[in-house]
């Protein structure tokens, strides 16, 4: 019987909601378990409904489960091999901080109204047992650029490679069709970034700004984002990053989101960025982008979600 993954390999959309929820300590565990069963069924229902009603909206809802939540809900053991609480990665200057998250919802739709409705339905189902500790509304900025003005996600795999790098197969047979989901909310220092010339910005990124062309190895700085975040053709993830922000408060940023068949790939990338390769040679983009969150989740297959729904 084929294993059906959630929509982890869908391409970035025009409108996105990212929701992070933590279960309340004062709610009986049995109540949480009952609502969780309904949530699993709801996620399946939302995806089926989106496909039937609005096939052109490219709409989907992906749910991830954190380590503490997996234990609280008495989900299957042994756990997915690499599911754990993310631990901070600290370099000489910057830190990839760790934050708590029990459930993560990644909602996409070309039609903003439908994305809003899915987020609202999930909120109605969750609000009596959990607190929403993170809500980010992402949007497509021009030709998939971040607010910093550079194309984001150029190194993403395509075609069959998306499944290979994002979906578990033989790495963990008990959890085939699942994925590791890692998220970080970055806030950009736009005043400092805009003070750089375009040439200086390109050296930070390792790419040209207008045409998105990677610099050659003999020109690209060793501490550029491309040099450190890309750790080799055998170690890729599927990113679905989205810009977000408030113009008047100047709080603009990027919601980094990666789906991977092995979380160790993401850890290696983060270590390169924050600690440096070699140590001390950290990713220069971190001088302009600060990680405010960092959480690991596991995304069960649709088949497993169906089992969880009771």
Question: Is 191 part of the annotated catalytic residue set?
Answer: no
- Identify the CA nearest to 3 among candidates 297, 305, 262: 305
Residue 187 CA to residue 193 CA, distance in Å, equals 12
Put residue 188 in one of left, alpha, beta given phi > 0 → left and psi -120 to 50 → alpha. beta
Residue 141 CA to residue 105 CA, distance in Å, equals 21
- Identify the CA nearest to 191 among candidates 262, 260, 249: 249
Residue 97 CA to residue 90 CA, distance in Å, equals 8
Is the separation of the CB atoms in 109 and 15 below 8 Å? yes
Residue of 152, 172, 240, 283 with catalytic role:
152
- Identify the CA nearest to 256 among candidates 109, 97, 81: 97
Active site residues: 152
């Amino acid at each position: 019987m084929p294993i059906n993954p959630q929509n982890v390999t869908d391409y970035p959309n025009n409108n996105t909601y990212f929701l992070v929820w933590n279960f309340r300590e004062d709610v009986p565990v049995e109540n949480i378990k009952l609502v969780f069963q309904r949530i699993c069924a709801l996620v399946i229902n939302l995806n089926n409904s989106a496909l039937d009603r609005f096939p052109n909206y490219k709409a989907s809802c992906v749910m991830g489960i954190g380590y503490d939540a997996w234990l609280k809900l008495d989900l299957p053991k042994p756990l997915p091999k690499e599911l754990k609480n993310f631990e901070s990665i600290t370099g000489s200057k910057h830190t990839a901080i760790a934050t708590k998250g029990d459930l993560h919802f990644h909602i996409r739709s070309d039609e903003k109204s439908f994305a809003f409705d899915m987020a609202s339905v999930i909120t109605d189902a969750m609000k009596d047992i959990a607190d929403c500790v993170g809500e980010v509304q992402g949007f497509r900025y021009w030709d998939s650029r971040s607010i910093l003005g550079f194309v984001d996600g150029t190194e993403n795999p395509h075609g069959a490679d998306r499944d290979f790098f994002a979906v578990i197969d033989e790495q963990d047979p008990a959890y085939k069709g699942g994925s590791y989901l890692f998220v970080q909310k970055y806030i950009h220092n736009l005043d400092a970034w805009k003070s750089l010339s375009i040439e200086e910005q390109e050296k930070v990124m390792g790419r040209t700004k207008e045409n998105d062309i990677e610099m050659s190895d003999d020109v690209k700085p060793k501490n550029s984002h491309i040099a450190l975040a890309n750790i080799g053709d055998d170690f890729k993830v599927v990113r679905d990053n989205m810009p977000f922000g408030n113009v008047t408060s100047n709080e603009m940023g990027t919601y980094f989101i990666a789906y991977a068949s092995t979380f160790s790939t993401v850890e290696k990338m983060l270590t390169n960025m924050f600690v440096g390769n070699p140590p001390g040679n950290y990713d220069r983009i971190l001088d302009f982008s600060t990680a405010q969150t960092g959480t690991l989740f596991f995304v069960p297959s649709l088949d497993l979600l169906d089992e969880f729904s009771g």
